[in-house]
Structure 1
Amino acid sequence: MDGTVDGFRYGAVTPVAAYLMACLGGALGLRCIVRSLLDTRSRSAGWLALGAASIGCGIWTMHFIAMIGFHVEETRVRYDAATTVLSLVVAVAVVGVGVFLVGHRGTSGTTLAIAGTVTGLGVAGMHYLGMAALRLDGDVRYDPVGVALSVLIAIGAATAALWSAVTIRGFLTSLGASLVMGVAVSGMHYTGMAAVSVHVHDTTGGTWAGDSPLSLLLPMLAGPVVFLLLAGVVVMFDPLLVLGERSSAARPGRGADSVASYRPSGREPVAPTRER
């Protein structure tokens, strides 16, 4: 029999909380990537890694907060812990590939297309790997059109995020970009969920392997959420990271000319020309 699927068991609480976490991860990640472009090459890798981890944790946290609201009326929903953790690793790793590509090679058409496609496919892979962690007394089925659309949204969202990461420097514009990114990531998730149907085997209420959403997801979400909060502390206590080019003008040897001379395309910086 077909199960009654409900993705909003707790009303607007889970989608709103999920959206906010996606925005937080995106905002921190974008600011960390900007910071890497304003720093020396010897330290830029650390900022890029922090940015990738922030975006990856934000996307993964968004997914599983939203999944707390996923409910099938005829059967209990549980999760496999190992697969759930693996989906977090995939999220951070694939975002890292895209971030390092554009961080070191810039936003040329080819680089951006490759980085956006790889990252988008990875984000979609994280989503469906997280769905593979579902354990219920039935079969989960997908509408191919909905799946394809969710993958295209993921690729578009990833490409836009990577482009904005190395081209948008202002704090407010980055904040706006993170809000748009949150909409895109949430849209990808709920588009994929709209493609889900469940064929229930029976309604006897038998037990099966896996942990319940509240007993597994809430403790696991604590780690990425704490990480994002700590990354937020780093942002707040680093004026250059928060303000970007503006504050760099006040730093000795890191003036606005040095930032303006940066070319995010892998070429060497152009020496600034000063008037006599």
Structure 2
Amino acid sequence: MGHLDHAAFGWLTPVLSYVMACVGAALGLRCTVRALAATGRSRRNWLVTAASAIGTGIWTMHFVAMLGFAVGGTDIRYDVPLTVLSLVVAMAVVCAGVFAVGYGRDRTRALLIGGLTTGLGVASMHYLGMAAVRLHGAVTYDPVRVGLSVLIAVVAATAALWAALNIRSPLAVTLASLVMGAAVTSMHYTAMFAVNVRVTPSGATLPGATAMQFIFPLAVGLGSYLFLTSAFVALSPTSGEREASASAQQPMDSPTGRQQAWPV
């Protein structure tokens, strides 16, 4: 068995991955709150932004954590198409879960379907990402820990969507995102502790890209997207603020004698 190191850079990758998961969760919850207060195209756009934020946060969390993954006796490479596919899966399933909640008529049913879909999607993203790992040896999994990681993913996703439906205040959203970040991170490390590697020493060149060649630049790019989108959402007015602004701009002495709102 090869010696597995899940934190080759010490606490840097676990802490940074947790921060990315929390930022994605906070942004996703904030956008879902905005979506539920909106209608039509605006609701759809907020839900897409929420899904991309949560999906990006989860994927970035996973691969930032993977930067700290090392196996004694072998180099590690990543299959680029499979890694990109894992990102697409993360986005697609989170989108399906968020839309189930955003447009579901029966809240409880929508929550259960959305939570199950999103949780299974998060687990699929993780194991697709692991399938992209190339090393000298054979990778096997402890089925009990795999099952536990999938259960944590489903519970975490359901809790996050429940929070999106029921939480409004910024403080509550912050607390919910910290909990969600912890749940996603614990799912990742539970899944990683299910991994066993039997190393077969070899001088052959491994296919794929190194973490620093591919994973690191992509994680930095997606992390930047999260932070920039967070700033945009934080600075954009809510529907309540827009209404307050519109009423404040109404001229008191309009020709008809009624207050009229300027177009905003």
Q: Which residue of 2 aligns with 1:4?
A: 3
Q: Residue in 1 aligned with 2:71?
A: 72
1:158-197 correspondence to structure 2 within 5 Å: 158-197=157-196
Q: What letter matches 1:250 in structure 2?
A: A
- Cα deviation for residue 248 of structure 1 reads 6.6
What is the DSSP-based 3-state SS (H/G/I as helix, E as strand, rest coil) of the residue aligned with 1:75? coil
> In 2 relative to 1, CA 47–164 (structure 1 residues): closer, same or farther, beyond 3 Å?
same
1:120 matches 2:114: no
Query: Which amino acid letter does the alignment assign opposite residue 239 of structure 1?
Result: P
1:56 aligns with 2:55: yes
Give me the whole-angstrom Cα distance separating, in 1, the residues matched to 2:96 and 2:74: 38
How much has 1:29 moved relative to structure 2? 0.6
Following the alignment from structure 2 to structure 1, what is the Cα–Cα distance between the partners of residues 13 and 106? 35
For 1:170 and 1:248, the matched residues in 2 are separated by 18
Of 212, 221, 229, which residue of structure 2 is paired with 1:214? 212
1:238 maps to 2:232: no
Which one of the candidate residues 216, 226, 229 is aligned to 1:228?
A: 226
| Cα pair 1:75 1:205 within 8 Å, conserved | no
Matched position secondary structure for 1:89: helix
- The Cα shift of 1:230 comes to 2.1
The one-letter code matched in structure 1 to 2:179 is V
**Distance in structure 1 (CA, Å) of the matches to 2:218 and 2:234:** 26
Who is 1:47 aligned against? 46
Aligned residues: 247
Shift of residue 233, structure 1, vs aligned partner: 2.0
Aligned twin of 1:260: none
* Alignment CA distance shift 1:248-1:175 (3 Å): farther
How big is the shift at 1:226?
Answer: 2.1
Aligned equivalents of 1:110, 1:206: Cα separation in 2:
52
Instruction: Confirm or deny: 8 A CA contact 1:107 1:166 kept in the other structure.
Output: no
Is 1:250 the counterpart of 2:250 in the alignment?
no
Deviation at 1:222, TM superposition (A): 2.6
- Partners in 1 of 2:46 and 2:245 — Cα distance? 19
SS in structure 2 at match of 1:169: coil
> Are 2:154 and 1:155 aligned?
yes
1:81-100 correspondence runs (5 A): 81-100=80-99
Point out the structure with max Rg over C-alpha: 2
Give the drift of 1:249: 6.8
Read off the aligned partner of 1:206 and give its amino acid letter. Answer: A
Cα distance 1:107–1:239, how it changes in 2: closer, same or farther (>3 A)?
farther
SS at match of 1:63: helix
State the one-letter code of the partner of 2:209: D
1:202-227 CA deviation, whole Å, 9 max, x = no partner? 2x343120111111111121331121
2:29 corresponds in structure 1 to 30
Q: Distance in 1 between matches of 2:84 and 2:36?
A: 31
What SS does structure 2 have at the residue aligned with 1:239?
A: coil
Q: 1:141 aligns to what SS in structure 2? A: strand
Q: Distance in 2 between matches of 1:14 and 1:122?
A: 23
Contact 1:28 1:51 in 2 (8 A): yes
2:253 maps to which residue?
Answer: none
RMSD, matched Cα: 1.6
2:245 & 2:37 partners in 1: Cα distance?
11
Query: Is the Cα–Cα contact under 8 Å of residues 107 and 163 in structure 1 kept in the other structure?
Result: no
Percent identical pairs in the alignment equals 52
Separation in 2, partners of 1:40, 1:122: 27
TM-score, with structure 2 as normaliser: 0.90
Between the aligned partners of 2:200 and 2:105, the Cα distance in structure 1 is: 51
Which whole-Å CA distance do the structure 2 matches of 1:159 and 1:49 have between them?
Answer: 18
Distance 1:6 1:52 in 2: 32
- More divergent stretch after superposition (124-133 vs 110-119): 110-119
Task: Kindly provide the CA deviation profile for residues 6-28 of structure 1, in whole angstroms up to 9, marking residues without a partner as x.
Answer: 11101100000000000000000
Q: 1:107 to 1:57 in 2, by over 3 A?
A: farther
CA distance in 1, matches of 2:48, 2:106: 18
Which consecutive unaligned segments of at least 5 residues does structure 1 have? Answer: 254-276
